[in-house]
Amino acid sequence: MPQTIHRGYKALLDEANAQVETLSPEAAIALVGRDDVVFVDLRDPRELEREGRLPGAVHCPRGMLEFWIDPESPYHKPVFAEDKSFVFFCAGGWRSALAAATAQDMGLKPVSHMGGGFSAWKKAGGPVEESAGG
């Protein structure tokens, strides 16, 4: 008998978007260069290689997020203990919504995510650093 899925990804995304601030790409672009803001890139290395990077963003593969945020984790990254605002983004805005909600649930604040992700960032004219291989 097939397993019943009680809440699909759309419900999870709706919940995440309801609890986390979503920034437009234009609003996110206005934050570039501020020393009180950390952009967190959740894309996998292949995506960064293919699409380029947001200059100065911290790369945190989605699978490591919880381990990097928690100060009790052996994998904790000090950047997540800084008194800054964290703007999460991915390629299209889905992973970042879920990640930002998780980060907020873990006590990280203030957090937001960029609607439309890196593809919307590029369309809005945000700065892009091409990868060394591309």
* Contact present, 43 and 118 (Cβ < 8 Å): yes
Burial of 113 (0-12, 13-18, 19+ CB in 10 A): buried
In a domain, 4, yes or no: no
Contact (Cβ atoms closer than 8 angstroms) between residue 71 and residue 81: yes
- The CATH code of the domain that includes 117 is 3.40.250.10
**How much is the pLDDT for 74?**
97
Assigned domain for 94 exists: yes
d(CA 85, CA 19): 16
User: Is 41 within a domain?
Assistant: yes
Q: How many whole angstroms separate alpha carbon 35 and alpha carbon 6?
A: 42
pLDDT at 122: 96
User: What's the pLDDT score for residue 65?
Assistant: 97
High-pLDDT (> 70) share of the chain, %: 96
Per the structure, the count of domains in the chain is 1
Read off the pLDDT of each residue in 19-23 and give the average, rounded to a whole number. Answer: 97
Q: Residue 76: its pLDDT value, please? A: 97
Give the residue among 1, 38, 3, 12 at the shortest CA–CA distance from 113.
38
Residue 87 lies in a domain: yes
Per the domain annotation, does 1 fall within a domain? Answer: no
Whether 97 maps to a domain, the answer reads yes
Tell me the residue range of the domain where 33 lies. Answer: 19-123
Q: Could you tell me if residue 86 is inside a domain? A: yes
Q: Is the pLDDT of residue 12 over 90?
A: yes
Please give the pLDDT value at position 3: 74
Would you call the peptide bond into 110 cis, given omega within 30 degrees of 0 as the criterion?
yes
User: Does the pLDDT of residue 4 top 80, yes or no?
Assistant: no
* pLDDT tens-digit map of 94-131: 999 999 999 999 999 999 999 999 999 999 999 999 87
Strands 85-89 and 58-59: unpaired
pLDDT at 32: 95
Please state the pTM of the whole predicted model. Answer: 0.92
Q: Is 80 within a domain?
A: yes
Is 133 a residue whose pLDDT tops 80? no
Task: Say if residues 56 and 10 touch (Cβ distance below 8 Å).
Answer: no
Closest CA to 39 of 27, 55, 25, 24: 55
Residue 62 has pLDDT above 90, yes or no: yes
